Amino acid sequence: MGPSFLRFRVLSAAKTLNTFAMLKLLFLGDVVGEPGRRAVIETVPRLREERGIDFIVVNGENAANGRGITPKITIDLLRCGIAVITSGDHIWDQKEIVPFIDTEPRLLRPLNYPPNTPGAGSIVLETPKGKVGVINVQCRTFMNPPLENPFLAMEAEVARVREETPIIFVDVHGETTSEKIAMGRFLDGKVSAVCGTHTHTQTADEQIFPGGTAFLCDAGMCGPSESCLGREIAPIIERFLTGRPILYPVARGPVKLLGAIIEIDEQTGRALSIERYAQPYEPAEPAPPQAK
């Protein structure tokens, strides 16, 4: 058995191992207000270590008191280890985000806004496991404002991003299950994963489509569990009873983190597994006082 044969065996083994190299991506659904973002900021570093997470995407469009996101909140979320923040129809609710969004490419707004809209709908980032693309798109059914056709916008953008990397995660922000499922089927085999946001209610339809794309119709929210979609319960009921406008404060109390963990083949970009993530937030215990 000569050196050439041994070298061939080593290279073949390395190639086989490389084929199964995996990237583990965590996606967390809509972060609601101060309770949601506090839970995310405290939990992400711990979760990253415990679960071996390589890349984290979070939808932050409700992070500022339940409506929109601010520059400071964006920075706080990125500093805790989040790679990309996606959004949706509330992206412009905080006025200071308009001049800021062009300065921070890791904060995305939906892709299908008209040309010359501030910000971007996608990003490709270098990681120790190669390039990872993230695309944010907004559906049209029952959504305001109505944006450009999301399917046509995604067809062009996915083709562009695939020239850089086969690993592509998509946050599809929309109201109806039908439109989000249709988007997932439309992108099957072209992206690694499609996860929905906006309804704040986690669905139980996680699956991998035939072409290798992981799918979850809605990731849910990171926010107060004793609530109506993260808001105090009584005002929501009053709104339904009276039909009159009313303020919807962000609820307090126990917080739950909802999302998905997706394992992706680094070489092909195909999803290997998808797992719904649903865990109560456990505040870190305060450090014991030091002896004097």
The catalytic site residues sit at: 90
Locus of tokens 């190669």: 130
Distances (CA, A) of 67 to 71, 75, 291: 13, 17, 44
Strands 193-197 and 207-208: unpaired
Distance from C-alpha of 112 to C-alpha of 116, rounded to nearest angstrom: 11
**Pick from 167, 140, 144, 169: nearest CA to 153:** 140
Is 134 in contact with 85 (CB distance < 8 Å)? no
CA dihedral 78, 82, 83, 87 (to 10 degrees): -80
Is residue 217 helix, strand or coil? coil
Q: Provide the H-helix boundaries in 106-149.
A: none
| 245: preceding bond cis by omega (within 30 degrees) | no
Question: Tokens 């998509």, residue?
Answer: 170
